[in-house]
Amino acid sequence: MLANDFILSQRVSKRCEKLVSILWSKWLLIGLWQRTFMKWQKGVVLIGFNAAEPGR
């Protein structure tokens, strides 16, 4: 009985680890995407300003 409980707990912890790693990778991807998007947006805004005011 104890061995069975141990195996079950091992399975549960492995499943939790998998879930955590998936969530972590998704969070990292979203963070990277947001960062690049913000940089891209800033770049577009700067280019837009320069295009609107060519005299500067």
Residue 55: predicted pLDDT:
63
Q: Three-class SS string for 1-56?
A: CHHHHHHHHHHHHHHHHHHHHHHHHHHHHHHHHHHHHHHHHHHHHHHHHHHHCCCC
pLDDT at 56: 54
Question: pLDDT for 7-42, tens place per residue?
Answer: 888 998 999 999 999 999 999 999 999 999 999 888
